[in-house]
Amino acid sequence: MMNVSSLPPAVAPGVGPSPTFVLQPSTVVPVMPAQWQAYVAKAQSELSADGIDPWSLVPALAGFALADVAGRSWSFDGRLWFIWDGQGWRTASPPDALRLASVTFDLVGEAHTLPPLPALAALVDGPTHLVPPTGTPAWATPVAAAAPIAVVPPQLAVAVLEWQPTGWAQIQTENGWRGWVDGRQLQPLR
């Protein structure tokens, strides 16, 4: 059985952010990394066969918080495994077994029900940085203890909207999506 907790829901249907849910298993749910990779590869293959970009699965993968026996956080982006070292994500080889710590997902209605986001050009004068070649996890808020909500694709041009002394950077993509990332990993364009 799963315990469900809801973060602030939308004020009214189609207005405000989509409700976010965090599911935490009440018993240990083992995850074998090799098996997980096979599941992800199969899902990506099926998406591709349906004419859907297989990397569109990456944000959903970021919603799965995995942990090892020591309690360290792990994530898989469809290519690489990442471990949270307390200051940032780094690539690493996972142990033979992990456990599911939580699953985070947003309930999103029809795209036309969401309010339009402001254009990037209205906020800054175009992209300012590139995401590193490995991509980078993104958070809804600059809180490292929270689970990432997405993985920003490799080499994507983004605009940095805000820097914090701790290294966090709030970014915005050209389609208006915003998130917080480890700004030290971003490469300046200018």
Question: 135 and 59 in one domain?
Answer: no
Question: 127 and 99 in one domain?
Answer: no
Q: Quote the number of domains for the chain.
A: 2
Contact 82, 137 (CB under 8 A): yes
Choose one of 53, 83, 112: the last residue of a domain. 112
Question: 81 and 28 in one domain?
Answer: yes
Question: 58 and 129 in one domain?
Answer: no
Question: 47 and 91 in one domain?
Answer: yes
Average pLDDT over residues 104-121: 47
Give residue 81's pLDDT band: very low, low, confident or very high (50, 70, 90): very high
Choose one of 96, 112, 128: the last residue of a domain. 112
Q: Which of 28-37, 84-93, 108-117 is most confident?
A: 28-37
pTM for the whole structure: 0.49
Question: 51 and 17 in one domain?
Answer: yes
Which structural domain range is residue 150 located in? Answer: 116-190
pLDDT digits (tens, 9 = 90+) for 156-169: 999 998 888 888 89
SS3 letters for the chain? CEEEEECCCCCECCECCCCEEEEEECCCCEECHHHHHHHHHHHHHHHHHCCCCHHHHHHHHHCEEEECCCCCEEEECCCCEEEECCCCEEECCCCCCEEEEEEEEECCCCHHHCCCCCCHHHHCCCCCEECCCCCEEEECCCCCCCCCCEEECCCCEEEEEEECCCCEEEEECCCCCEEEEEHHHCEECC
Taking the CB of residue 162, how many other CB atoms lie within 10 A of it?
13
Question: 18 and 101 in one domain?
Answer: yes
CATH, residue 121: 2.30.30.40
